Amino acid sequence: MARYTDASCRLCRREGMKLFLKGDRCYTDKCAINKRNYAPGQHGQSRAKKQSNYGMQLREKQKVKRIYGMLETQFRNLFEKAEKMKGMAGENMLSLLERRLDNVVFRMGLAGSRKEARQLVTHGHFTLNGKKVDIPSLTVEVGDVIAVKERSRSSAKFKSLVENFTRVVPNWLDIDAEKMSGKIVSLPTREDIDLDIAEHLIVELYSK
């Protein structure tokens, strides 16, 4: 499957805000946007600030795609799925994004970033309802239990993540730190999502 392989910090600089794509590094002085808070490229510093409505919609879509580590086709398919669900398309979209397995692993504090969570899932370090899973884009449901695989729990990597866990756990997740597992107790709602996202702009963009 295609994936973004360029420098992650360029994405934050392009969006003009921290997207927290590199875990703990984003909270330090080494964060690129602290040093170069302008768009990447030859004309980054001289690029016009004023945007059209379309430009605002496009930037919002790009920002959300980059936060969750998705490419265009995958993101568009998810939005079309959200449109077919009951309720508001924008909120459905955010709920589906939050319910991606790689995001759940990140929210559980078992990865420093969503990118790292995706890699850990792909490498087979997690189980879903007791069965090994390696598909980061899988959508979890209420009642599902995600856990670090038995053989992986003793690794220094996971022990360190659990011991130094500082992230706020969303209300729709029930975490058992000792067992390195979490259960989906409800579907995430708009109030549960702490990201600065204007989902209505994405709905407007795709509705054209």
Band (pLDDT 50/70/90 cuts) for residue 1 is very low
Residue 127 has pLDDT above 60, yes or no: yes
The 10s digit of each residue's pLDDT in 43-77 is 455 555 677 899 889 999 999 999 999 999 999 99
Q: How many CB atoms lie within 10 A of CB 110?
A: 29
The answer to whether residues 79 and 57 touch, using CB atoms and an 8 Å cutoff, is no
The 10s digit of each residue's pLDDT in 62-120 is 999 999 999 999 999 999 999 999 999 999 999 999 999 999 999 998 998 899 999 99
The 10s digit of each residue's pLDDT in 153-186 is 988 888 888 777 777 889 999 999 888 999 999 9
Cα 194 to Cα 4, 94, 152, distances in angstroms: 24, 11, 30
Band (pLDDT 50/70/90 cuts) for residue 122 is very high
Domains, the chain: 1-50 (1.10.1050.10), 100-186 (3.10.290.10)
Alpha helices in 2-100 (DSSP H): 8-15, 32-35, 53-68, 72-84, 89-98
Question: How confident is the model at residue 39, as a pLDDT?
Answer: 59
Q: Which residues are paired to 173 by β-bridges?
A: 184
